[in-house]
Amino acid sequence: MKLFIDTANVEEIRKAHELGVIAGVTTNPSLIAKEGRDFFETVKEISAIVGDLPISAEVISLDADEMVEQGKKLASLGPGIVIKVPMTADGLKATKRFTEMGIKTNVTLIFSSPQALLAARAGATYVSPFIGRLDDINMIGMNLIEEIVQIFRMHDIKSEIISASVRHSTHVIEAAKLGADIATVPYKVIESMMKHPLTDAGIQRFLADWEGAGQKTF
């Protein structure tokens, strides 16, 4: 399973990219708003950092024609731009048109398997089921990942499944075990995935033993 970073913060993207662990970036209007910067400048800067890795940038209109216009403008900002469209009838129409134009899409705000199937059939490159937001309303988000993985594998559907709205590293590992193609994760989840108290304790022990043995320093 690949990891994308879910943020519009360029410093977080730079740090994650330097770690060598991310295969793409997802943003959304809330994440862009949080940064308080110009949308287009932000997307261009992200593109300069990650090159041709996929970067999902979301349209704002709810009308298919306008989504296509907005998407074409976004697609011109860099080689890896993926147009994120909401899971609506107009979003599906726009997805079909982007597919015909050879522009990649990420259908977002997916909360059910029927929605995922429709998005895939419209030609979505990626579908984004939101795990955490389902958990938030006392549903089991991971059940949705399991069902979509089963359907897509059974019917040889090529759209990649992005586990989105990821809150913690357990979500990441559960999605990986279920066969999701990608998890898009906030930077703080990447940080938490690196940590283990036994790693820290092990490093301290190795250093203390090294010094205790009187070895020369490097």
Residues at the contact surface with ligand E4P, assessed by CB under 6 A: 6, 26, 28, 108, 128, 130, 132-133, 164-165, 184
- Cβ closest to ligand E4P, residue 82 vs residue 92: 82
Q: Which residue is it, tokens 């036994």?
A: 198
Whole-number minimum distance, CB 184 to ligand E4P, in Å? Answer: 5
Whole-number minimum distance, CB 9 to ligand E4P, in Å? Answer: 12
Q: How far is CA 182 from the centre of its chain?
A: 7
d(CA 48, CA 159): 26
**CA-to-CA separations, 202 to 62, 169, 197, 213, in angstroms, rounded:** 53, 22, 8, 16
- Cβ closest to ligand E4P, residue 113 vs residue 208: 113
- 37: helix, strand or coil: coil
How many angstroms separate the most distant Cα atoms in the chain?
A: 72
* H or E segment to which residue 106 belongs: strand 105-110
Count of CB atoms within 10 A of residue 199's CB? 10
- Cβ closest to ligand E4P, residue 144 vs residue 164: 164
| 84 labelled catalytic | yes
d(CA 156, CA 72): 29
Say which of 34, 84, 93, 104 is annotated catalytic. 84
Whole-number minimum distance, CB 205 to ligand E4P, in Å? Answer: 37
Whole-number minimum distance, CB 128 to ligand E4P, in Å? Answer: 5
Catalytic residue numbers read 84
